[in-house]
Amino acid sequence: MQRIYLDNNATTPVLPEVFEAMRPYFGEHFGNASSIHHHGQETRAAVEDSRESVAKLLGCHASEIIFTSGGTESDNLAISGLVDAGDQVVTSSIEHHAVLHACKHLEELGCEVTILPVDGRGLIDPADVRRALKPNTKLISIMMANNETGVLQPVDEIGKIAAEAGVYFHTDAVQAAAKVVIDVKRIACQVLTISGHKIHAPQGVGALYVRKGTKLRPMFFGGRHERSRRAGTENVPGIVALGKAAQIAKQGLDRGDEKKMSALRDRLQQGILTQIEDASISGQGAARVPNTTNIRFDHIEGESLVIALDLKGLAVSTGAACSSGAIEPSHVLIAMGLRSDQAKESIRFSLGKQTTDADIEFALALVPETVARLRELSPTYRRATVSS
């Protein structure tokens, strides 16, 4: 069966060039990057080359990059590394759980956490950020792009507010990296998170940008890896892959590849909206990353639609999470003002570098008939069509 993958915000396939770049580091070049002999020097050089490539993607100096195990670790390191008991952290209701749960943990340790709302488009108002600041504010943590809707937050403005107030600014750029140009100087953040598996490198590797001079308390204690900021023998193959993926991402952004991606995404979105009535986009009206669209189909359980599409070969996702056996609606869509039943009617389509015109055609042929079939089975749809 043909299988089309439009769930790249969950994870992306490793690009063949990325896989080829990392392959020798499982075999021939196996040294520990801390060893002083030839084998160690070889892998150390590869790690440092990757650091340069990641730094180029983010517009910073290589010494400002710490390699980690992924987005979750980078978010946790950024947040727990900058805040002490009694400090206030300002964040938003649409952050990834890697940020929200890290903040919740800090609250248990005696920090004050302020969670800002978003508007119907999923946007944080910088004026709310400014109003939330207090004498004990230490950190603002607001994501660059949302994983469920793709909505881009006004991080440049928020960075200015943080700088004026003299507080740290962290941004989770996991879903922005490789999709939009990131310049840490323009954002004026002290810490910024990226993850390998969202940019066509493997799962289990990521990075944290830490601006020179920022005093970050480590989370792990051990050897003096990563300038004593992240102890633990480096994941050399993963780091090499992240470096290669960052290089490819930078080349793509320099060529303007994201325009092609947003054209594909727009075609998918438009095709769905013209063929299916009672469908709407969450986050419309806000700037979004070029690969994501989150569409709500009235009267359908998103979960049923994901399963029905998967049976026909199309992989997409709901933002919903399964907790203790029950499907919880997406906290992001709820924060944007959707009712719980509406949030559960939503599906996220997310494209990757490998997505082709043919993939979009496949989705456009499949989604309308599947939605129509599920609506026929939906009691709320039947009631709505009988009464109209």
If we measure between CA atoms, which residue out of 6, 19, 318, 5 comes closest to residue 196?
19
Containing 206, the helix (H) or strand (E) segment is strand 206-210
Number of residues that bind ligand PLP (CB under 6 A): 14
Candidate residues 174, 201, 208, 286; the one interacting with ligand PLP per rule CB under 6 A? 174
Pick from 21, 22, 54, 143: which binds ligand PLP (CB under 6 A)?
Answer: 143
State which residue, 75 or 359, has the beta carbon closest to ligand PLP: 75
Q: Could you say which of 42, 64, 172, 298 contacts ligand PLP (CB under 6 A)?
A: 172
- Residue 275 carries which side chain, given as an amino acid letter? Q
Whichever of 199 and 276 has its CB closer to ligand PLP, that residue is 199
Nearest residue (CB) to ligand PLP, 103 versus 143: 143
- Give CA–CA dist 345/332, Å, rounded: 13
Q: Is 154 in the site for ligand PLP (CB under 6 A)?
A: no
> What is the DSSP annotation of 155-181?
HHHHHHHHHHHT-EEEEE-TTTTTTS-
**CA atoms of 225 and 221, how far apart (whole Å):** 10
**Near ligand PLP by CB under 6 A, which window of 107-115, 167-175, 236-244, 314-322?**
167-175
Q: Is 70 in the site for ligand PLP (CB under 6 A)?
A: yes
Q: Are 169 and 159 in contact (CB under 8 A)?
A: yes
Residues 341-370 that bind ligand PLP (CB under 6 A): none
Residue 72 in the binding site for ligand PLP (CB under 6 A): yes
Helices and strands, number each (H, E), in the chain: 15, 14
User: Which is nearer to ligand PLP, 75 or 345 (by Cβ)?
Assistant: 75
Least distance from ligand PLP to the Cβ atom of residue 71, Å: 2
Among 44, 51, 96, 296, binds ligand PLP (CB under 6 A): 96
- Please say which residue, 10 or 366, places its beta carbon nearer to ligand PLP: 10
- What is the closest distance, in whole angstroms, from the C-beta atom of residue 382 to ligand PLP in the complex? 36
Distances (CA, A) of 268 to 26, 58, 216, 309, 360: 39, 30, 43, 15, 6
- The correct pick among 206, 243, 290, 319 for binding ligand PLP (CB under 6 A) is 206
Helical ranges in the chain per DSSP H: 16-22, 38-58, 71-80, 97-108, 126-132, 155-165, 184-187, 225-228, 236-255, 257-275, 302-311, 331-335, 340-343, 357-376, 379-387
Residues making up the chain, counted from first to last: 388
140: part of which helix (H) or strand (E)? Answer: strand 137-141
The answer to whether 194 and 206 are in contact (CB under 8 A) is: yes
Measured from the CB atom, the residue of 96 and 244 that comes closer to ligand PLP is 96
The smaller minimum CB distance to ligand PLP, of residues 171 and 378, is found at 171
Distances (CA, A) of 103 to 75, 79, 89: 10, 7, 8
Q: Which of residues 73-92 bind ligand PLP (CB under 6 A)?
A: 75
CB of 194 to ligand PLP, least distance (A): 9
- Note whether 147 binds ligand PLP by CB under 6 A: yes
Question: Distance between CA 56 and CA 54 in Å, rounded?
Answer: 5
Q: Is 291 in the site for ligand PLP (CB under 6 A)?
A: no
Q: Answer yes or no: are the C-beta atoms of 217 and 80 closer than 8 Å.
A: yes
Closest CA to 192 of 139, 228, 149: 139
**Residue nearest ligand PLP, CB atom distance:** 71
Q: Least distance to ligand PLP from the beta carbon of 176, Å?
A: 9
Is residue 322 among the annotated active site residues?
yes
CB of 96 to ligand PLP, least distance (A): 3
Assess 122 for contact with ligand PLP (CB under 6 A): no
Positions marked active-site: 322
Task: List residues binding ligand PLP (CB under 6 A).
Answer: 70-72, 75, 96, 98, 143, 147, 172, 174-175, 195, 197, 206
